[in-house]
Structure 1
Amino acid sequence: MPVHVSIHDVTPAWAAEVDAALQACAEVGIKPGLLVIPNYHGAWPLDEHPDYARRLRQWQVAGHEIFLHGYYHLAGADRRAAGPAGQAAPRGLRKLWAQKVVSGGEAEFSDVDEAEARRRLDDGEAVLRRAGLEQLDGFIAPAWSMPPWMHAVLRERGYRYTEDHLHVYDPAAGAKRASVVLNYASRTPARLWSSLVYCRLARPARRLLPARVAIHPADMRHAILRKEIHGLLRWAVGDAVVPARTLVEA
């Protein structure tokens, strides 16, 4: 089955780590998709980093897919006044799972209502347009977490690709496919080692399902994960390394 490789959290805040991940991919001939955050944690607006915007344009021209990856990549950031009636933000166990289990308070689109989600999509798209990135290959929510009503919002906007922990989607076509995602977690030693074991054990699932290799910049700060990522990329390149939307059609 095909494999897609991506680098998450592409922002000037993680410039050195993103460069390290790109280099690891280049060593095996992979051009990963890039998940770009317009204003990381509200402190790294891309508009104020024209040199990094220029690099993003160069990467896109070189053949890297560009995905909008939230706006702040932070839960609860800059909550604005309520807009027109729409779907409510998730609450209770769904919110707890997104913010405390699968992320360290960074599941941004699990913490907004529909009006705020639309505003952040508008703002994020505008920032990337000003950076010269006219073509977006999809939207991927931080921590792969967003409420089900987001699919209709993405479909209205013509998005052809999104994903969560278990599936890949073409919102515009109303299509989805199960997929296995291989990624590491480094917030605690326990998460680091458990994710390392998981990525080794989950590789055979590629025989049945399309696979996604997701590299996070923080991974590159740990020697053991750098080594694992190099091995995982060599494993990935043994099959077709494809554009993201191809996974939905696999």
Structure 2
Amino acid sequence: MSDTQRSVLLVLHDVAPETWADYQPFVEAVDALGNVPMTWLVVPDFHKRNPLLADRQFQHLLGNRLARGDELALHGYYHCDDSPAPRTPRDYFMRRIFTWEGEFYALNHEQALARLQAGIEMFQRLGWPLHGFVAPAWLMSQGTRQALCELPLRYTSDPQHLYQLPDFTRIDAPGIVWSARNAWRRGVSKILSDYLQHKYQQAPILRLGIHPVDMRHEYSRSYWLQTLMRLMENGRTPMTKIQWLESRVLGLRSAA
């Protein structure tokens, strides 16, 4: 990857059978643009009511996305916080105000390792390559970080960085994400997103973090599609996370 190449990474969060209806029109619109690879963050059993292994049709759909050149990554296991109730004010804020879905925020090493291994085993059972893990709401306990260092995964991430595993090498990778639950949040999100696009217009990488709720409102759905088109028109190359990481490694080797 050259020093001047700029990329855009389109990342679909909370991918599960029940969220596909939200995503389908947007994915079809992106597909109509041409070769735009996406990273799908797959939840094995969304909120403990949506086991992916029980839905052969959705498995087939995701398999077809892989064949198109998309990437599937592991996104938690249940995507809901089922740990014991928070005991400190900070934990209460993070787990009940900031989000109710920080599944890996309070897990110890053994708990995190077990869920990560279960997710990896699901990918293996379905014959899907797996390179990355993203914690729901990007919240990871120290036990989760320790567990990730013990597994055959290539990367994880937070809102502004990618981390190469197993040593958590940090790579600046700014991201844009919306809070789209109501009109005023969508309005504020647009203002902030426009600012971040300007701020990071020369950044080598820019991530667009899409959520199912964004797709339920024409305002936010159209914004994401138009933003993607504009970034591509301005010279950004669409890539998956693992494509970008591999191109970066090749670029560093070439420069050595």
Query: Could you list the runs of 5+ residues in structure 2 that have no partner in the other structure?
Result: 1-5, 252-256
Candidates 109, 112, 121, aligned match of 1:126:
121
- Residue 3 of structure 2 corresponds to none
Counterpart mapping for 1:58-137 below 5 A: 58-76=64-82, 92=88, 94-103=90-99, 105-133=100-128, 135-137=129-131
Q: 1:57 to 1:34 in 2, by over 3 A?
A: same
Counterpart mapping for 1:11-26 below 5 A: 11-26=16-31
**d(CA) in 2 for partners of 1:25 and 1:172?**
33
Q: Given the alignment of the two structures, is residue 162 of structure 1 paired with residue 156 of structure 2, yes or no? A: yes
8 Å CA contact retained: 2:148, 2:165: yes
Candidates 20, 33, 37, aligned match of 1:28:
33
**d(CA) in 2 for partners of 1:15 and 1:32?**
14
The Cα of 1:126 is off from its aligned counterpart by 2.0
Q: 1:173 to 1:90 in 2, by over 3 A?
A: farther
8 Å CA contact retained: 1:21, 1:215: no
Q: Which runs of 4+ in 1 moved over 3 A?
A: 89-94, 247-250
8 Å CA contact retained: 1:12, 1:44: yes
8 Å CA contact retained: 2:23, 2:212: yes
Give the letter for the 1:20 counterpart.
P
**d(CA) in 2 for partners of 1:102 and 1:20?**
29
Secondary structure of 1:240's match? strand
Query: Scaled by the length of structure 1, what TM-score is found?
Result: 0.86
Query: Could you list the runs of 5+ residues in structure 1 that have no partner in the other structure?
Result: 80-88
The Cα of 1:183 is off from its aligned counterpart by 1.5
- Residue 224 of structure 2 corresponds to 229
- Residue 8 of structure 1 corresponds to 13
**d(CA) in 1 for partners of 2:9 and 2:236?**
10
Query: Scaled by the length of structure 2, what TM-score is found?
Result: 0.84
How much identity, in percent, do the aligned residues show? 28
| RMSD value, Cα | 2.3
**d(CA) in 2 for partners of 1:97 and 1:234?**
37
- Residue 49 of structure 1 corresponds to 55
Q: 1:114 to 1:160 in 2, by over 3 A?
A: same
Q: 1:92 to 1:109 in 2, by over 3 A?
A: same
8 Å CA contact retained: 2:154, 2:164: yes
Tell me the matched-pair count: 238
8 Å CA contact retained: 2:10, 2:38: yes
Q: 1:16 to 1:172 in 2, by over 3 A?
A: same
8 Å CA contact retained: 1:53, 1:132: no
**d(CA) in 1 for partners of 2:93 and 2:191?**
22
Which stretch of the first structure deviates more once superposed, 152-161 or 42-51? 152-161
8 Å CA contact retained: 1:8, 1:214: yes
